[in-house]
């Protein structure tokens, strides 16, 4: 459109990401947006770098805006390209790959780590902790083990230290001040924190001033002012950050500590240039936490769309994301003459709480060990509530106020609608509760998707869950946290995530690292873990035979009398006289009592003694048969109709496509069985619309269906979409199956998985996101390299021989 203005944004951090979201939400036609980022990637959740460092999350899990987002919203991205200059008179921005002009410019350059100017600061092995590249450098260094020295005992430094210790390094933290996190904690809380970190094996040296970093080609150690020497293979500098103002300064803008702005987010002296995020300086205030940055982004979006909003700094609360350390601090807790304090200590439980009061109002709160009341105290600070009425019991928390019972739900119930639940994204209780009702949300994931609550740092997930329970009552089923089995408290989703994030490649490794409660699992978790590992590491994982259900060990289906049934594969349900003759011979030779045609167009031979199985397979193999996997959590059958070969209504070669799909996909393991069908026309003789995956051929191509069921539950399929060619049909079906393989919980059929994650989400990833679809397809193809081995032939050749013969047959009369 002609009246669209050019908006250039420098820096793709969380604040500018929020700005773009707000702009395109409110008026997608207002601006052509160009987004520069020096990092070669888009917006991700920087708060979650510490979980990435410690291995609890992967980068993919913390991406906020993927390529599809930028594409969908027509944002021109120039990632991996640093901006070199701003020309204010020409109204252009120069990047390394060319110049672009702007009508409005937003500088969101964030902050740069402060590097202490000591000798050796530039040695390889000395890193800062700001972005994903830093995090990856640390993960790589940690893989080699050895000593790490973290300079700086603030929030970032301690998270880095804990992450590196988690990854097996010997970690020492150097802190210049007398106690850790002195900006957020008082001395006592600092002491408790130190004790907890020391119990994790981290050495803490306070009042430590770094004199030099030593080493020749690579860092070797750190020397302190008092001549203490520390060995180091890695030095992390986390002494603080300062606003990144170089570009703005070069452009002649007004700079204080950061880029000076007025409350409407405009820079001083240039009406078309705005600044946002950690790089700004508003009347002496700097901003580092995400909540005020998001608020700034909201204000700026409004002003860019003609509004006149102002940003007013507020009090902030801090939480440390170190596993096993629970601390919370908010407000101002320095001592002063006009202030009083209330302190509660419980040394045995490691609990410390301190409230700082001024004129009967709480101005600061520090909590350690038990932080459940943190948000409530923070709310009282922000509201400037007069607490004189409850002063005697205030420190015990919200549950002790009034006559309310000691029910954690009561505390959440008592919160007013405008109480903030998610500090990062500024979502209040009323918004969450009404979204739960209006949009029929049922899980924390739903709430995250619809309201953003708990989508950033995740510490309010517990509160969100309580709101769900409160709003839905008994209807709330916290399925996301249902443990896999009695051996663990983790749910299937968490286990899958952690297998990937922590690089776990054997069942014992999973049980050790995820703290299984039993020594070797149970019949529920072992098959699940075996599948998850096969799926995640197709090339490396050695299948654990003893963790498979008997059918997948014996490659046949156990029957009620302990005999087995055998189903050879008939591609697409087609057979021949030669095959039928071979089956007839086998039935006669082995006295097989029952022969049955199955619902998936196969022939089932029932009542075979286990000892006979290899011989049966040998005879079937000679006729060209392979295993039909009728026993597997894997691809079972592709049922077809005769299509254009014979049928007068057929629109496409449905039999041919069915055979092709089956030949491509046989042998793959899946969370639960997968049954497919291809019908040659909408009369649908192959009954494709009640299958896990189905295809209904039409004149214009192939309509792909998924998530049907015709068993315990009956459910018609959902339409995934229409594609034009057979090749496309195969690619989409394979990608869909791989997505299910990677996300499904063990024994969860496709229709349940798809319902859990949303049919639209499946469509989005498979139909709309070409890159994602191809990536799924490629991963499936790779895993098939290791999966497409006929198990019957292997066993005819002698594999697992012990499975099919008794250990001993005793003589009828045992010796007297």
Partner 1 sequence: MNAVTKNWVAVGMISDIPRRGARCVKNGDMTIAIFRTSDDRVFALEDKCPHKNGPLSQGIVHDGCVTCPLHNWVISLENGEAQGADEGHTRSFPVKSDGDTVLLGL
Q: Please report, as ranges, the residues that interact with partner 1 according to CB under 8 A.
A: 518-523, 526-527, 545-547, 549-551, 553-554, 558, 560, 562, 802, 806-810, 812, 814-816
Task: Give whichever of 312 and 520 is closer to partner 1, judged by the CB atom.
Answer: 520
Q: Name the minimum Å distance from CB 808 to partner 1.
A: 4
Pick between residue 648 and residue 802 the one whose CB is nearest to partner 1: 802
Residue 717 and residue 704: Cα distance in Å, rounded? 9
**DSSP reduced 3-state for 237:** strand
The answer to whether 417 touches 428, Cβ cutoff 8 Å, is yes
Judged by beta carbon, residue 61 or residue 800, the one nearer partner 1 is 800
Nearer to partner 1, 334 or 814 (CB): 814
The angle, 0 to 180 degrees and rounded to 10, between the axes of the packed helices 770-787 and 726-743 is: 80
Query: What is the Cα–Cα distance from 564 to 556, expressed in whole angstroms?
Result: 6
Count of beta carbons in the 10 Å neighbourhood of residue 390: 16
Residue among 475 and 812 whose Cβ is closer to partner 1: 812
Among residues 112 and 522, whose Cβ is nearest to partner 1?
A: 522
Report how far Cα 249 is from the mean position of its chain's Cα atoms. 39
The residue behind tokens 């026993």 is 631
DSSP state of 44: B
Residue 782 Cβ, how far from partner 1 at the closest point, in Å?
29
Min dist. Cβ of residue 608 to partner 1 (A) = 14
User: 498 and 476 in contact (C-beta within 8 Å)?
Assistant: no
| CB-based contact 44:64 (threshold 8 Å) | yes
Minimum CB–partner distance for residue 549 and partner 1 (Å): 7
Q: What angle do CA 715, 534, 800 make, to 5 degrees?
A: 110
Nearer to partner 1, 553 or 755 (CB): 553
CB of 591 to partner 1, least distance (A): 19
Instruction: Give the shortest CB-798-to-partner 1 separation in angstroms.
Output: 15
Nearer to partner 1, 69 or 516 (CB): 516
The distance of closest approach from Cβ of residue 496 to partner 1 in the complex, given in angstroms and rounded to an integer, is 21
Considering only CA atoms, which of 11, 6, 42 is closest in space to residue 247? Answer: 11
Nearer to partner 1, 490 or 766 (CB): 490
Q: Which is closer to partner 1, CB of 121 or CB of 610?
A: 610
CB atoms within 10 A of CB 473: 8
Least Å distance between CB 62 and partner 1?
36
Cα Rg, the chain, nearest whole Å: 32
For residue 36, which of 65, 11, 16, 6 has the smallest C-alpha distance?
11
Nearest to 197 by CA among 54, 353, 325, 349: 325
Q: Find, among 373, 377, 350, the residue nearest to 364 by Cα.
A: 377
Q: How far is CA 504 from CA 493, 521, 539, in A?
A: 15, 16, 14
CA distance 172 to 205: 7
**Nearer residue to partner 1 within complex by CB, 546 or 577:** 546
Tell the smallest beta-carbon distance from residue 533 to partner 1 (Å).
16
358 Cα distance to chain centroid: 43
What is the end-to-end Cα distance of the chain in Å, rounded?
A: 102
CA–CA distance, 454 with 446 (Å, rounded to integer): 11
Question: Do the Cβ atoms of 333 and 189 come closer than 8 Å?
Answer: no
Sign of CA dihedral 66, 72, 73, 77: positive
The whole-angstrom separation of Cα 385 and Cα 378 is 10
DSSP string of 49-116? Answer: HHHHHHTSS-HHHHBSS-HHHHHHTTPEEEET--EEEEETTTTEEEETTEEEE-SEEEE---EEE---
Nearest CB to partner 1, comparing residues 373 and 612: 612
Q: Choose between 244 and 552: whose C-beta lies nearer to partner 1.
A: 552
Q: How far apart are CA 705 and CA 683, in angstroms?
A: 15
Nearer to partner 1, 553 or 715 (CB): 553
Structure-block tokens of residue 352? 């410390």
Residue tagged 């590249």 (tokens): 133
Contact (Cβ atoms closer than 8 angstroms) between residue 423 and residue 328: no
Cα separations (Å) of 551 from 570, 788, 803? 19, 18, 12
Question: Least distance in Å: CB of 565 to partner 1?
Answer: 14
| DSSP-assigned letters across all residues of 512-559 | HHTT-SSSS--TTHHHHHHHHHHHH-TTT----GGGS-HHHHHTSEE-
Beta bridge partners of 105: 8, 273
Q: How far apart are CA 267 and CA 275, in angstroms?
A: 6
Alpha carbons 734 and 463: distance in angstroms, whole number:
39
Comparison of 498 and 554: residue with beta carbon closer to partner 1: 554
Question: Which residue's CB is nearer to partner 1, number 699 or number 816?
Answer: 816
Contact 16, 276 (CB under 8 A): yes
CB of 546 to partner 1, least distance (A): 4
Q: How far is the CB of 806 from partner 1 (least distance, A)?
A: 5
CB of 811 to partner 1, least distance (A): 9
Structure token digits, residue 285:
């205030």
Q: Which is nearer to partner 1, 209 or 518 (CB)?
A: 518
Structure tokens at 638: 């592709």
Cβ closest to partner 1, residue 1 vs residue 814: 814
């Amino acid at each position: 459109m002609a009246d669209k203005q050019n908006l250039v944004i420098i820096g793709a951090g969380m604040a500018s990401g929020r700005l773009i979201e707000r702009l395109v939400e409110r008026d997608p036609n207002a601006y052509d947006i160009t987004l520069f980022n020096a990092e070669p990637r888009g917006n991700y959740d920087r708060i979650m770098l510490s979980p990435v460092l410690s291995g609890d999350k992967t980068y993919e899990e913390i991406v906020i805006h993927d390529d599809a987002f930028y594409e969908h919203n027509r944002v021109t991205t120039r990632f991996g390209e640093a901006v070199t200059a701003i020309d204010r008179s020409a109204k252009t921005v120069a990047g390394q790959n060319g110049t672009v002009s702007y009508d409005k410019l937003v500088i969101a350059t964030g902050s740069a780590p402060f590097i202490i100017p000591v000798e050796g600061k530039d040695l390889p092995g000395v890193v800062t902790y700001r972005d994903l590249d830093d995090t990856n450098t640390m993960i790589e260094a940690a893989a080699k083990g050895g000593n790490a020295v973290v300079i700086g005992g603030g929030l970032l430094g301690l998270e880095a230290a804990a992450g590196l210790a988690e990854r097996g390094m010997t970690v020492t933290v150097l802190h210049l001040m007398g106690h850790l996190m002195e900006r957020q904690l008082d001395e006592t809380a600092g002491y408790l924190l130190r004790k907890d970190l020391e119990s994790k094996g981290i050495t803490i040296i306070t009042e430590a001033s770094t004199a030099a970093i030593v080493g020749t080609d690579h860092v070797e150690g750190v020397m302190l002012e008092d001549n203490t020497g520390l060995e180091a293979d890695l030095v992390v500098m986390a002494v603080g950050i300062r606003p990144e103002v170089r570009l703005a300064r070069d452009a002649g803008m007004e700079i204080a500590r950061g880029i000076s702005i007025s409350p409407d987010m405009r820079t001083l002296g240039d009406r078309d240039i705005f600044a946002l995020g950690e790089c700004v300086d508003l009347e002496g205030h700097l901003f580092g936490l995400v909540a005020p940055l998001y608020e700034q982004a909201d204000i700026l979006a409004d002003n860019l769309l003609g509004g006149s909003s102002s940003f007013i700094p507020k009090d902030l609360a801090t939480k440390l994301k170190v596993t096993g350390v629970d601390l919370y601090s908010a407000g101002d807790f320095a001592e002063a003459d006009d202030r009083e304090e209330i302190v509660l200590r419980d040394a045995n439980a490691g609990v410390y709480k301190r409230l700082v009061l001024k004129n009967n109002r709480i101005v600061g709160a520090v909590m350690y060990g038990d932080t459940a009341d943190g948000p409530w105290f923070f709310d009282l600070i922000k509201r400037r509530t007069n607490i004189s009425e409850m002063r005697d019991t205030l420190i015990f928390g919200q549950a002790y106020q009034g006559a309310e019972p000691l029910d954690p739900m009561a505390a959440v119930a008592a919160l007013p609608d405008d109480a903030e639940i998610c500090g990062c994204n500024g979502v209040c209780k009323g918004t969450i509760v009404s979204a739960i009702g209006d949009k029929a949300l049922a899980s924390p994931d739903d709430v995250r998707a619809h309201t953003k609550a708990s989508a950033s740092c995740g510490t309010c997930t517990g509160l969100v869950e309580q709101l769900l329970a409160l709003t839905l009552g008994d209807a709330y089923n916290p399925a996301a946290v249902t443990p896999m089995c009695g051996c663990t408290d983790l749910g299937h989703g968490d286990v899958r995530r952690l297998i990937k994030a922590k690089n776990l490649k054997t069942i014992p490794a999973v049980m050790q690292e995820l703290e299984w409660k039993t020594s070797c699992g149970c019949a529920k978790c072992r098959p699940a873990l075996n599948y998850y590992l096969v799926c995640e590491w197709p090339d490396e994982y050695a299948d654990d035979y003893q963790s498979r259900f008997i059918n997948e060990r014996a490659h046949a289906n156990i029957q009620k009398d302990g005999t087995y049934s055998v189903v050879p594969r008939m591609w697409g349900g087609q057979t021949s006289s030669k095959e039928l003759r071979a089956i007839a011979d086998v039935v006669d030779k082995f006295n097989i009592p029952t022969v049955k045609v199955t619902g998936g167009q196969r022939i089932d031979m029932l009542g075979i003694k286990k000892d006979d199985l290899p011989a049966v397979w040998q005879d079937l193999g000679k006729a060209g048969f392979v295993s039909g996997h009728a026993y597997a959590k894997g691809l079972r059958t592709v049922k077809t109709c005769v299509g254009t070969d014979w049928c007068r209504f057929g629109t496409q070669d449905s039999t041919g496509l069915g055979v092709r799909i089956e030949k491509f996909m046989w042998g793959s393991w899946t969370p639960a069985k997968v049954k497919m069908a291809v019908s040659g026309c909408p009369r649908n003789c192959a009954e494709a619309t009640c299958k896990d995956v189905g295809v209904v051929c039409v004149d214009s191509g192939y309509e792909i269906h998924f998530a049907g069921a015709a068993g315990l539950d009956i459910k018609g399929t959902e339409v995934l979409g229409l594609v034009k060619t057979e090749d496309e049909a195969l690619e989409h079906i394979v990608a869909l199956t791989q997505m299910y393989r990677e996300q499904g919980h063990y024994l969860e059929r496709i229709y349940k998985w798809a319902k859990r994650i949303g049919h639209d989400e499946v469509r989005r990833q498979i139909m709309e996101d070409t890159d994602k679809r191809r990536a799924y397809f490629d991963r499936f193809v790779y895993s098939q390299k290791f999966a497409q081995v006929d198990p019957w032939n292997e066993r005819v050749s002698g594999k697992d021989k012990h499975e099919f013969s008794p250990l001993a047959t005793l003589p009828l009369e045992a010796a007297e």
